[in-house]
Amino acid sequence: MIKQILYEVGVEELPARFIDDAQTELYEKTKKWLRDSRISFEEVTTFSTPRRLAVIISNVSKSQKTISEEVRGPALKIAKNEAGEWTKAAIGFTKGQGLSTDDIYLKKEKDVEYIFVEKTIEGQPTKEILPEFEKIISSLHFKQTMRWGDLSYKFARPIRWLVALADQEIIPFEIANVVTGRKTRGHRFLGKQIELSNASEYEQALEENYCIPNPKKREEMIVRQLKELEDENKFNIIIDPELLIEVRNLVEYPTAFYGSYEDHFLSLPSEVLITSMKEHQRYFPVVNEEKELLPHFVSVRNGDDQALENVAAGNEKVLRARLSDGEFFYEEDQKNSIDFYLEKMETVVYQEKIGTLAEKVNKVTAIAKEIGHLLEVDHDTAEKIQRAAAISKFDLMTDMVNEFPELQGVMGEKYALILGEDKAVAEAVKEHYLPAQANGKLPKSIISTVVSIADKLDTVISSISVGLTPSGSQDPYGLRRQALGVLRIVEEKEWDIRVEELLAIVENIYQIEDETLIEKIKNFFRQRVQYLFTQSGLEQDIVKSVTNKNLGNLAYAHNKAVVLSHKRNDKAFKPVQEALVRILNLKTKDAKSEIDEKLFETESEKALFEKYQEVKKSFRVNNIELKAEDAFDNLTDLTDFITAFFDNNMVMTEDIKVRENRLCLVESIATMIKEYADLTVIEWNQSFN
């Protein structure tokens, strides 16, 4: 048994945002590679710092598992000739497997007889397989890669060293002209080059050289040091989880310290101070018991605690400069009116194929107005929606947002209030950007919500209309996220409006008449609806059944999907499913337009027609009132009548008039069922095996 195998890739500084994903990918791919290679192991442990990605595999078998594998050859009619002799095809097949025709046996698959052999695959020594790990390293995916020197090889950052050890033996391979060895490196300044005699020395040797390769340990060290600073200085540190992860991925040996800035900077909006500290300097803000900002910050050094006062002083100087800029921008921005900033937007290109920022805002304002009409908001709310939409982007022209883009919307609200705007309007300027992430919080007020939807619809539809539809993983304008934002808002607010109505508003304003483009836009939103519903735990085929034709009212569509999802797992529902799907499968476009009761020949078709007339009235009411369970119960009431109809009538009878009349009845019922969902796309059988 090999006790430990170590692979380490040493690089120039990796961006912090790359590290966690790369470490997770390394872990998953290592385990898969071991399983696929038939190599037994006990544990896989991964490590990461800004300068390395590493993996240790513990208690590894000395050789691959030997396995037996059944291999199918050609069909018997090809493998044997008329004289009953093996053909060249059979002989070549067995020879290719290292066997002979004596090893052939026969098996049938789908009524065709094939020749088979059982092949034994001997396990190779593990050490012969280990150099193949080079492929795992080279397959790691990064959002951005680079070349260096005259190499064509790509990686996130230049590879500077490689360690590959099976216990004490070097595993030989080469990547980008770097050959594997046993030498790793500690902290860039505090550590030294380390020559490992055995893979088991790895973690301890690095820690002795001021490098903590386990990111969880670094995180624990940071949190512990922050708590110590809190206790010593009687203040509270805002520990943002995302910032904590980023900081741990910026350092190899963390040491926390705190610094201060002048009290007068506290007159700036807290968002400006926090953004300057967190987003630009990766500092943790400090507050008192009342959650009010104090003129201090906490940072984490990549090194030990020597000369920390000098480090703190240097960081204070940098922060002071940033805050001074913020203070200047804050004062200067307030000297201008909102109209001044709106006028500036006329010269700023939003997107070269779409137009200026001012033109976008005008479109958003027009869309917001129509959405307000659709929702039947009162006059005062309608006016506030219009004003909020019209000034929604003005702060993008301010010096503060130009310097701190993260503050878009935030400064818009603050400046709007300072410049005399209504509180609800100012709030909408900030909240119309929500949700900022796929699962982020939604805007609260009706004003904020309408402007948010208008802005997002405009962005998505205008972009698609000029050919900027996302493809694959590429979505530079965030159109998928914007569309999801619209859909989440509409569903969670439970607005009684159809998605198609919203899309039509924008299409009319943009004068989009191309049916192909209109369908493309609808399909883009359909895909987002299907993603949204499946993320909530609904099965994909169920979701398609309620979204394949129209998207309609999203809350209702979701509730219908929930009803169907429950039904598919209810064995007692099978007769209902079979009856309704049978109707849908017989649906034809050739059916006559009206049912003629005089052409009914049997009691069962008369009974089905009468029941359909009764159910149709109830179904329409429940469908209008968005009662998903009740509407489906209406359809369920048809089950016995549909079954009796098919048991006692030949729909495709030779009498043309009778046939067409029966098809018309089927068509009418099918149309009502499809108004609820297309049950034919659901894989019902999987629940009734």
Percent of the chain with pLDDT over 70: 98
Give pLDDT tens digits for 317-329.
999 999 999 999 9
Q: What average pLDDT does the structure give for the chain? A: 93
Tell whether the model's pLDDT for residue 472 goes beyond 80: no
Q: What is the mean pLDDT of residues 247-269?
A: 97
Q: What is the mean pLDDT of residues 204-223?
A: 98
Tally DSSP H helices, then E strands, for the chain.
28, 18
Q: Which residues does 223 contact at the CB level (< 8 Å), separation at least 6? A: 239, 244
Tell whether the model's pLDDT for residue 517 goes beyond 80: yes
Q: CB–CB of 297/312 below 8 Å?
A: no
First to last CA, the chain: 46
Tell whether the model's pLDDT for residue 28 goes beyond 50: yes
* Separation of alpha carbons 245 and 612, rounded Å: 61
Q: What is the mean pLDDT of residues 342-362?
A: 95
Region of 151 (left: φ > 0; alpha: ψ -120 to 50; beta: rest) is beta
Q: How confident is the model at residue 689 (pLDDT cuts 50, 70, 90)?
A: very low
More confident residue, 657 or 332: 332
* Separation of alpha carbons 615 and 356, rounded Å: 54
Q: How confident is the model at residue 688 (pLDDT cuts 50, 70, 90)?
A: very low
> Quick one: pLDDT at residue 687?
44
Q: What is the mean pLDDT of residues 107-119?
A: 91
Beta strands (DSSP E) in 569-670 are none
Give pLDDT tens digits for 426-445.
999 999 999 988 788 999 99
Report angle CA 365, 521, 143 to the nearest 5 degrees: 95
Tell whether the model's pLDDT for residue 590 goes beyond 60: no
Q: How confident is the model at residue 588 (pLDDT cuts 50, 70, 90)?
A: low
For 138-157, the three-class secondary structure string (H helix, E strand, C coil) is: HHCCCCCCECCCCCCCCECC
- Residue 400 burial (CB < 10 Å; 0-12/13-18/19+)? buried
Tell whether the model's pLDDT for residue 59 goes beyond 80: yes
662-to-99, 302, 607, 650 alpha-carbon distances in Å: 64, 80, 13, 9
> Quick one: pLDDT at residue 213?
98
Q: Pull the structure tokens for residue 504.
A: 């039509």
Secondary structure class of 283 (helix, strand, coil): coil
Whole-structure pTM value: 0.79
Q: CB–CB of 663/591 below 8 Å?
A: yes
Tell whether the model's pLDDT for residue 657 goes beyond 50: yes
Tell whether the model's pLDDT for residue 681 goes beyond 80: yes
**Span of 152-156, 176-180, 582-586 with lowest mean pLDDT:** 582-586
> Quick one: pLDDT at residue 567?
86
Percent of the chain with pLDDT over 90: 80
Q: How confident is the model at residue 609 (pLDDT cuts 50, 70, 90)?
A: very high
For 179-200, b/e burial (b = at least 16 CB within 10 A) is: ebebebbbbeeebeebebebbb
DSSP 365-381: HHHHHHHHHHHT--HHH
Q: CB–CB of 267/238 below 8 Å?
A: no
Q: Is the dihedral of CA 140, 141, 146, 150 positive or negative?
A: positive
Q: Is the bond preceding residue 15 a cis peptide, omega within 30 degrees?
A: no
Q: Pull the structure tokens for residue 331.
A: 């004062």
| Strand-pair partners of 58 | 4, 43
Q: What is the mean pLDDT of residues 402-407?
A: 93
DSSP state for residue 406 in the 8-state scheme: G
Q: How confident is the model at residue 523 (pLDDT cuts 50, 70, 90)?
A: very high
Give pLDDT tens digits for 235-244.
999 999 999 9
Q: Pull the structure tokens for residue 78.
A: 């090809």
